[in-house]
Chains A and B, each alone.
Chain A
Amino acid sequence: DAGVIQSPRHEVTEMGQEVTLRCKPISGHDYLFWYRQTMMRGLELLIYFNNNVPIDDSGMPEDRFSAKMPNASFSTLKIQPSEPRDSAVYFCASSPMDSTLGGNTIYFGEGSWLTVV
Chain B
Amino acid sequence: AQKVTQAQTEISVVEKEDVTLDCVYETRDTTYYLFWYKQPPSGELVFLIRRNSFDEQNEISGRYSWNFQKSTSSFNFTITASQVVDSAVYFCALSERNFGNEKLTFGTGTRLTIIP
Contacts and interface: CB of A to CB of B under 8 A. Distances in A.
Interface string B48-72: 0010100000000000000000000
B44 A106 contact: no
Given A50-B100, A109-B44, A111-B43, A103 B33 contact: yes
B36 to A, nearest CB: 11
A18 B107 CA distance: 31
Given A42-B106, A42-B109, A48-B102, A103 B44 contact: no
B87 interface: no
Interface in B10-58: 31-33, 35, 37, 42-47, 50, 52
Contacts of A103: 32-33, 50, 52, 95, 97
Interface residues of B, number: 26
Nearest to B50: A105
A56 B101 contact: yes
B104 A106 contact: yes
Given A42-B109, A103-B97, A105-B50, A110 B43 contact: yes
A110 B47 contact: no
Interface residues of A, number: 26
A34 interface: no
Interface of B: 31-33, 35, 37, 42-47, 50, 52, 91, 95, 97, 100-109
